[in-house]
Chain A
């Protein structure tokens, strides 16, 4: 400790440079963590966080006995797995195709268009969903009625939402993720491809035996990053696509939307804190374990 202060004194200019960032991190990331103690308390608004009485693991018990806990866990994990597979697979395919395209203009235009959804807010994506699925004026129902069939109210069919959400997620992130994979593919030594061509390898063999193995580290790292968020839902996406539509909760409620609803209605904050703590701890454990295993198997692939 004494050495630490000596170091601060010696390097005070450098230390002073990081003070604003330290303060922001402490105030907006570390200090709020104290609120997680609510998970073990019976929250009373008049008493505040610290004076509310403890009630042990009652909140966790209630969260799971009421069935909410299991439903949220199931939904969150299923959505994450589905999104993980579809969005990464789509991005890898698109990246491989784009890097094989020879026509420069075509390549540039398509790449720019595919990257475009990354730049818009989820609010606008919500507007797109409305323009497509809206019961009265949506594009989909135009096509359905034009074909002489009955209008479909998508917002009343829970079963299709996992696929809709997964499609929008893959759509929004395809450009972003493929930028990463294209960079990885560009980094592959061109001489390997040339040598393979001379040996008579066709395009499929080049992709299967050179491109895919070469971008494997990138794929693993992208998967690891996502696995570390296994219990986190993209709140912005769920809220903009589904909104406060009670009919769809069974199929679309994830921990983050559950927490938000509890905030706006201010009911049962203790149980909500329990859900938050459960989410944070599971994510932390999962990323540590998965990263640890990865480091053992193939050190270069680990995140840290």
Chain B
């Protein structure tokens, strides 16, 4: 390696080093801005009067401040509250059950005295290499499981994933086997060992994959698009999708709130709905970010 490093004059070195740091700061700052600006456009669009939007379009700062869109949105809060209810229900139930199943499975598969663990792990892993895709799931779920319009269709398919299993397994492998052995000698059964000895040790792992699961459930919209026809069972993200892309959804809000469709502040309404649907994530983001960083770092190291 030393052969490749040619001595250079100190001054030239320091100038190009400063240039490098300047570029690094600028590029990273620019990227951060690009990631932030769309959020600002949406928020400011939601607070801008419809008239201004029609003539001048969206902009980064709200020009003619108006709360009209939010007033209409909350005039008939039924639709939004229902959608919030569905999203919260699906997220809580799905995450709780999924977390339990994933944790106990990865614990069992990390036990070195469990003989068929590598074969069973492969049975799970294989689904990431080969699967039937959307068509097969769709036919199976609608024609054989008859889960159309049931909230379980939003919960069950995403409940167990190999990605979470791999992350959790590395948390389990960090637990020394001697703890399990000594609990066994004390006469504890397998379930007793898991629930009162192991689970408390896996708290940070459970927080990590629990958050991944919750995020997945909260952001899921396309299961609802495929399987949910009943408008009362729309989750928040799918409701947002409908408001953004389909005129019928706008007409429904109009009918419920008693406003003529052509007087609806469509553009600002779309943006305010986007704010309402994404708000909770942005509020918790600063507190949960580090768990995701940890999970991604662990998940990227091959299992």
How far apart are the CA atoms of A20 and B98 in the complex, in Å?
Answer: 10
**Chain B interface size, under 10 / 10 to 19 / 20 to 34 / 35 or more:** 35 or more
Q: What sequence of 0s and 1s flags, for each residue 35-53 of chain B, a beta carbon within 8 Å of any chain A beta carbon?
A: 1101101100100000001
Q: What sequence of 0s and 1s flags, for each residue 110-122 of chain A, a beta carbon within 8 Å of any chain B beta carbon?
A: 1011111111111
Partner of A32, one of B20, B139, B222: B139
The answer to whether the Cβ of A49 comes within 8 Å of any Cβ in the partner chain is: yes
| A179 and B42 form a contact (CB under 8 A) | no
In the bound complex, residues from chain B placing their C-beta under 8 Å from that of A196 are: 1, 5
The answer to whether the Cβ of A230 comes within 8 Å of any Cβ in the partner chain is: no
Q: What sequence of 0s and 1s flags, for each residue 99-112 of chain B, a beta carbon within 8 Å of any chain A beta carbon?
A: 00110110111010
Task: Give the nearest-CB partner of B192 in chain A.
Answer: A13
* Interface secondary structure of B, over-half rule: helix
Task: Give the nearest-CB partner of B27 in chain A.
Answer: A97
Chain A interface, number of residues (Cβ within 8 angstroms): 103
The answer to whether the Cβ of A138 comes within 8 Å of any Cβ in the partner chain is: yes
Stretch at the interface among B66-74, B201-209, B248-256, B285-293: B285-293
CB distance from B166 to the nearest CB of A (A): 11
In the bound complex, residues from chain B placing their C-beta under 8 Å from that of A118 are: 292
The answer to whether the Cβ of B29 comes within 8 Å of any Cβ in the partner chain is: yes
Partner of B5, one of A35, A106, A200, A236: A200
* Interface secondary structure of A, over-half rule: helix
The answer to whether the Cβ of B190 comes within 8 Å of any Cβ in the partner chain is: yes
| A20 and B101 form a contact (CB under 8 A) | yes
In the bound complex, residues from chain A placing their C-beta under 8 Å from that of B116 are: 4, 7
| B131 and A33 form a contact (CB under 8 A) | yes
Partner of A119, one of B102, B215, B241: B215
How far apart are the CA atoms of A7 and B132 in the complex, in Å?
Answer: 32
| B129 and A284 form a contact (CB under 8 A) | yes
12 contacts between A and B (CB under 8 A): A13-B189, A14-B108, A18-B109, A38-B139, A110-B28, A126-B241, A127-B42, A130-B244, A221-B300, A240-B241, A263-B135, A279-B133
**B contact residues vs A (CB 8 Å cutoff):** 1-2, 4-5, 7-8, 13, 16-17, 20-21, 23-25, 27-29, 31-36, 38-39, 41-42, 45, 53-54, 56-60, 101-102, 104-105, 107-109, 111, 113-116, 120, 123-125, 127, 129-141, 143-145, 156-157, 159-160, 165, 189-191, 194, 215, 218-222, 226, 237-238, 240-241, 244-245, 267, 270-271, 274, 277-278, 281, 285-286, 289, 292-293, 296-297, 300, 302
